[in-house]
């Protein structure tokens, strides 16, 4: 994890470009809400998993805003560039960087299919959780922030979707490649931290994404259909000498 940020960006960009055709999500009818492929509607209830976020204007919320201003004031151009890159690459290639160039999803169709499902399941879960908690985005609460991108405002802060995806992908990838688990988890944490560097989320948002991402994978692992996809990916990664 000591590679330069420029090196990270080059590696991630190359990986992302290589797998775009394999993992591109199908177009959805915007009027039709996405549904889980594996979980029943009542599973992973937001009211039972996460605590409510701090109320707008509360001392806790103001402290989190102050932290974002401190991060913004101290962020380097390189770290800001990585944060912007992480915002754009919301898929497993951002988390799989410790595996190197061998993790090429264009050559790993079963693995690509698994992680497309993981990403979709995270998206479905987050789409359920965000309106339940309806936390105001930092840029809406404080327009003086300078985020990576404008436009992500309103009441969609909690939990962080990027963090949920990153930690869920890391949980599955760590199971598949246990020898790289610590590096993968460290990368997932850094990926989540990018949401603070971007000014897109508060700290509690990325912490909630961590809880949701891990809980989601734990629930998915109880489903035979999902476990079947995991084992197909494991066999494929083993044959490619990426997994033991």
Mean of pLDDT values over 139-149: 94
Average pLDDT along the chain: 89
Residue 196 lies in a domain: yes
Total residues found in the chain within this entry: 244
Q: 93 with 16: CB under 8 angstroms?
A: yes
**Phi, psi dihedral angles at 165 (to 5 degrees):** -60, -45
Q: Is residue 26 part of a domain?
A: no
What is the residue whose two structure tokens read 């930690």? 167
Judged on CB neighbours under 10 Å (0-12, 13-18, 19+), 222 is exposed
**Is residue 27 in a domain?**
no
The confidence score (pLDDT) of residue 27 equals 46
In a domain, 214, yes or no: yes
Domain hosting residue 135, numbered range: 77-244
Q: How far apart are CA 110 and CA 235, in angstroms?
A: 9
Is the pLDDT reported for residue 5 higher than 90?
no
Residue 8 confidence (pLDDT) above 90: no
Residue 13 has pLDDT above 50, yes or no: no
Question: Is the CB of residue 65 less than 8 Å from the CB of residue 142?
Answer: yes
Q: Would you place residue 154 in the very low, low, confident or very high pLDDT band (cuts 50, 70, 90)?
A: confident
pLDDT band at 111 (very low <50, low <70, confident <90, very high): very high
Q: How many domains does the chain have?
A: 1
The whole-number pLDDT of residue 32 equals: 60
Residue 20 lies in a domain: no
CA distances from 36 to 33, 43, 55, 109, 208 (A): 10, 10, 30, 21, 20
- What pLDDT, in 10s, does the model give residues 201-227? 999 999 999 999 999 999 999 999 999
139 part of a folded domain? yes
| Torsion angle of the four alpha carbons 69, 90, 164, 172, in this order, in degrees rounded to the nearest 10 | -140
What is the model's pLDDT at position 152? 64
Q: How far, in Å, CA of 48 to CA of 219, rounded?
A: 14
The Cα–Cα gap between 80 and 67 comes to: 16
Whole-angstrom distance, CA of residue 121 vs CA of residue 72? 31
CATH number at residue 172: 1.20.144.10
The CA distance from 134 to 153, in Å, is 11
Does a structural domain hold residue 112?
Answer: yes
Q: What are 226-237's pLDDT values in tens digits?
A: 999 999 999 999
Q: What is the pLDDT of residues 20-56, one digit of tens each?
A: 333 334 444 445 668 999 999 889 999 999 999 999 9
CA distance 15 to 143: 34
Assess if residue 25 is contained within a domain.
no
């Amino acid at each position: 994890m000591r590679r330069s940020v420029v090196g990270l960006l080059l590696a991630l960009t190359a990986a992302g470009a290589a797998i775009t055709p394999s993992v591109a999500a199908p177009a959805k009818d915007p009027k039709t809400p996405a549904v889980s492929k594996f979980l029943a509607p009542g599973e992973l209830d937001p009211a039972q998993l996460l605590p409510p976020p701090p109320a707008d204007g509360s001392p806790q919320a103001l402290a989190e805003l102050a932290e974002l201003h401190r991060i913004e004031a101290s962020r380097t151009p390189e770290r800001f560039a990585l944060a912007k890159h992480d915002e754009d690459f919301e898929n497993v290639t951002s988390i799989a960087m410790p595996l190197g160039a061998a993790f090429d999803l264009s050559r790993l169709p079963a693995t690509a299919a698994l992680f497309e499902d993981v990403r979709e399941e995270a998206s479905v879960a987050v789409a359920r959780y965000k309106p339940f908690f309806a936390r105001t985005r930092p840029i809406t609460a404080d327009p003086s922030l300078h985020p990576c991108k404008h436009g992500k405002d309103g009441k969609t802060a909690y939990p962080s979707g990027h963090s949920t995806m990153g930690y869920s992908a890391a949980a599955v990838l760590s199971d598949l490649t246990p020898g790289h688990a610590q590096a993968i988890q460290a990368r997932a944490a850094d990926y989540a931290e990018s949401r603070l560097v971007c000014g897109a989320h508060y700290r509690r948002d990325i912490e909630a994404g961590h809880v949701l991402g891990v809980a989601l994978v734990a629930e998915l692992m109880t489903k035979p259909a999902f476990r079947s996809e995991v084992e197909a990916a494991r066999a494929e990664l083993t044959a490619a000498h990426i997994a033991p």
